[in-house]
Structure 1
Amino acid sequence: MHTVQNTLYIMTPNAYVHLENATVRIDVEREKKLQVPLHHLNGLVCFGNIMISPALMHRLADDGKSLVLMDSSGRFKARLEGPVSGNILLRQAHHRQASDAAFALEIARTIVSGKLKNSRSVVQRGARETSDTIETTQLTRSADNLAASLRAAAAATSMDELRGIEGEAARGYFSAINLIVKTAMRANFQLNGRTRRPPLDRFNALISFLYAMLMNDCRSAIEATGLDAQLGFLHAVRPGRAALALDLMEEFRAIAADRLALTLINRGQINASDFDEREGGAVMLNDRGRRAVVTAWQERKQEIVTHPLTETKIPIGLLPFIQARFLARTIRGEMDGYLPYQSK
């Protein structure tokens, strides 16, 4: 059990989470493990087989606090929330702008550009830090390819063209990621292309788990701002898909999740014993691995950075909320264009 940014993460299998007066109490095998005042929390995130009392679910809904259910590998399953609130005028503007093909394409181009810039930053850092001259050359070439993709994305004239550019750039980026993993760690953490459902190697399992937590934060940021999480610009609308949260997530994938994954691997904070292999080739973090990753995720979110636009020092965990507000201002016409967060 861990609390960060007023969100309680619960990972202990068969834990029982229930309401006790004005607190959330967590029992494991009928023994109290944690008790937190409800007013300290904005939401709960439960991984795997966690039991939750109906009284607590009702109270969370009444208080406007979210309850998110993930499977044990970190894949989103469901979200409980009370009646939708927020600014109806903003939501109306959001729906109008999403129907404007030119506006939607411009926002999507900006989202892809933000993703590519931050991906390139990760590759460039890897090129600076390696002592192998051949790998430095390969990583520099990958960074140059991402720069070319950036130029192509800025000139894309259709959503299909833009998505094609983004997909090709992502394949090159994930190929380069293997060279940023320290040589001694590569036998256990080789990324064999991006695989999702299920992940087929340890690196994919690790970043999939991190992406799931990042996605939850981005969705919370979108909903807190009053936008419609289901209505995206880059990601197509599909029933049950939080497309706008996926849009917001793109600029943070490389710098929030991938960079943390590389740090955990290269520092030996996570190793092969933190993963289990399932039938059919699926690879998943085990309970010990999930705990290590969530702890590192919490610590990372508490690190302070200076936002380049506001020039204020804020915890990394608040960046999605700041960016969601910028997106809302762009949709309302209060900003000339959306500016993704760019890591230094």
Structure 2
Amino acid sequence: MPTLYVVEPGARIEKEYHRLLVTKEDEVLLRVPLRRVSQVVLVGRVGVTTPALHALLQAQTPLLLVRRTGALVGRLTPAMPRNLPLRQAQYRRNDDAAFCLAMTRAIVAGKLRNQRVLALRILRRRPRERAPLRTLRAAEKGTVQAQKVAALRGLEGMGARAYFALYRQAFDPAWRFEKRTRRPPRDPINALLSLGYTLLGHALMTALEAVGLDPYLGFFHAEKYGRPALALDLVEEFRAPFVDSLVMTLVNKRMLSPGDFEERGGGVYLKDRGLRLFLREFGDRLESRVTTPEVGRPLSYRKHFEVQARRVARAILGQESYRPFRAR
């Protein structure tokens, strides 16, 4: 079921029977059956009526309010029974150094593997300098022997530098993408990556909460006030196959152009048309079906997020070792 993104400034979500309406100045911009919506995201200056809020809560459909950069302002979620024994086990595991090391090893190895898969795709189309690929492979192999979380973080950083040296080769120099920059993004590619990673984190927060986990207590990312560390843990293995490949598609198929961006506040951000297109394509990617070696049948990315959240839960409960998402 798709995510409904509402971007139009001054628009409002209303309820009509079993449908949601997007209206502006008494004009209906969109009608959609409530049962077809899995999540509603309001971007910027968009409102919602009380009856619509009640309908979303009754349907157990989360509502997110985000800024145009993707930064989360707040979330409205239905009351759900919390899995107290699971959360207690999660808090205990956070103090278990051996468990944190095993989780970090799996997360970093999964991220590096998925980056290598996308890097190979890039090199098949644009065969250039392959030294960064060797570095990426070495970092991935190094995760097997690493005995400290700090060492794994170092391998993750080494792999990231090598990966982005290859990833930038996927784009025409006119896009001015030289390296990863954020807070604020300094060029259009970084603007897309930052927005995509932020939205990905929101989707993974929802998946973790659905299985009863605390998205703010992670094992790879250190706890920091207001930061959903466990959601960010899972973001790592989905960055390359989900966001990075989506950005390549939008840019290289010329669905977006440099004219869809503007400089603002020292950074570069999407204008209205580009933001609408990106959110639509991001939502479509959430529902696109992919097959992994572990699952063996096609599932939407949204379902894969739930699968990974349940794998984290089973690992916390000692039922199995954590297995990261592996892209083909």
Structure 1 residue 93 displacement after superposition: 1.6
Could you tell me which residue of structure 1 aligns to residue 219 of structure 2? 233
1:254 aligns with 2:240: yes
The answer to whether the Cα contact below 8 Å between 2:13 and 2:21 also exists between their aligned partners in 1 is yes
Amino acid of the residue matched to residue 87 of structure 1? N
1:190 aligns with 2:156: no
Instruction: Report the Cα distance in structure 1 between the residues aligned to 2:58 and 2:226, rounded to whole angstroms.
Output: 23
Which is further off, 5-14 or 296-305?
Answer: 296-305
Cα distance per residue 1:141-196 (max 9 Å; x no partner): 21210111112233222222222221232122112211122xxx321x23232222
Could you tell me which residue of structure 1 aligns to residue 21 of structure 2? 25
Instruction: Report the Cα distance in structure 1 between the residues aligned to 2:239 and 2:32, rounded to whole angstroms.
Output: 31
Could you tell me which residue of structure 1 aligns to residue 42 of structure 2? 46
Could you tell me which residue of structure 2 aligns to residue 125 of structure 1? 121
SS of the aligned residue for 2:310 comes to helix
The answer to whether the Cα contact below 8 Å between 2:217 and 2:223 also exists between their aligned partners in 1 is yes
Structure 1 residue 63 displacement after superposition: 4.8
Which of 241, 247, 262 is matched with 1:276 structurally? 262
1:207 aligns with 2:198: no
1:304 aligns with 2:300: no
1:162 aligns with 2:159: no
Instruction: Report the Cα distance in structure 2 between the residues aligned to 1:279 and 1:231, rounded to whole angstroms.
Output: 32
Cα distance per residue 1:46-78 (max 9 Å; x no partner): 111111224433543455431111111222222
Instruction: Report the Cα distance in structure 2 between the residues aligned to 1:128 and 1:105, rounded to whole angstroms.
Output: 34
The answer to whether the Cα contact below 8 Å between 1:8 and 1:44 also exists between their aligned partners in 2 is yes
User: Where does structure 2 lack aligned partners over 5 or more consecutive residues?
Assistant: none
Amino acid of the residue matched to residue 166 of structure 2? A
Number of aligned residues: 328
Amino acid of the residue matched to residue 186 of structure 1? P
Instruction: Report the Cα distance in structure 1 between the residues aligned to 2:158 and 2:294, rounded to whole angstroms.
Output: 30
1:60 aligns with 2:44: no
Which of 133, 155, 159 is matched with 1:143 structurally? 133
The answer to whether the Cα contact below 8 Å between 1:305 and 1:315 also exists between their aligned partners in 2 is yes
User: Where does structure 1 lack aligned partners over 5 or more consecutive residues?
Assistant: none
The answer to whether the Cα contact below 8 Å between 1:174 and 1:191 also exists between their aligned partners in 2 is no
Amino acid of the residue matched to residue 117 of structure 1? R
Amino acid of the residue matched to residue 42 of structure 2? C
Which is further off, 8-17 or 149-158?
Answer: 149-158
Q: TM-score, normalised by structure 1?
A: 0.89
- CA 1:54–1:192: 2 relative to 1, 3 Å: farther
The answer to whether the Cα contact below 8 Å between 1:323 and 1:341 also exists between their aligned partners in 2 is yes
Which of 320, 327, 338 is matched with 2:305 structurally? 320
Cα distance per residue 1:17-69 (max 9 Å; x no partner): 12344432211222011233334433211111111224433543455431111
Could you tell me which residue of structure 2 aligns to residue 102 of structure 1? 98
Structure 1 residue 86 displacement after superposition: 3.2
Structure 1 residue 272 displacement after superposition: 0.7
Which is further off, 262-271 or 157-166?
Answer: 157-166
The answer to whether the Cα contact below 8 Å between 2:122 and 2:166 also exists between their aligned partners in 1 is no
Could you tell me which residue of structure 2 aligns to residue 89 of structure 1? 85
Cα distance per residue 1:202-257 (max 9 Å; x no partner): 00001111112211211111111111111100011122111111111110001100
Amino acid of the residue matched to residue 8 of structure 1? L
The answer to whether the Cα contact below 8 Å between 2:93 and 2:99 also exists between their aligned partners in 1 is yes
Q: TM-score, normalised by structure 2?
A: 0.93
Could you tell me which residue of structure 2 aligns to residue 79 of structure 1? 75
Instruction: Report the Cα distance in structure 2 between the residues aligned to 1:105 and 1:62, rounded to whole angstroms.
Output: 40
Report the aligned-residue RMSD.
1.8
Amino acid of the residue matched to residue 332 of structure 1? L
SS of the aligned residue for 2:75 comes to strand
Amino acid of the residue matched to residue 13 of structure 2? V
The answer to whether the Cα contact below 8 Å between 2:168 and 2:179 also exists between their aligned partners in 1 is no
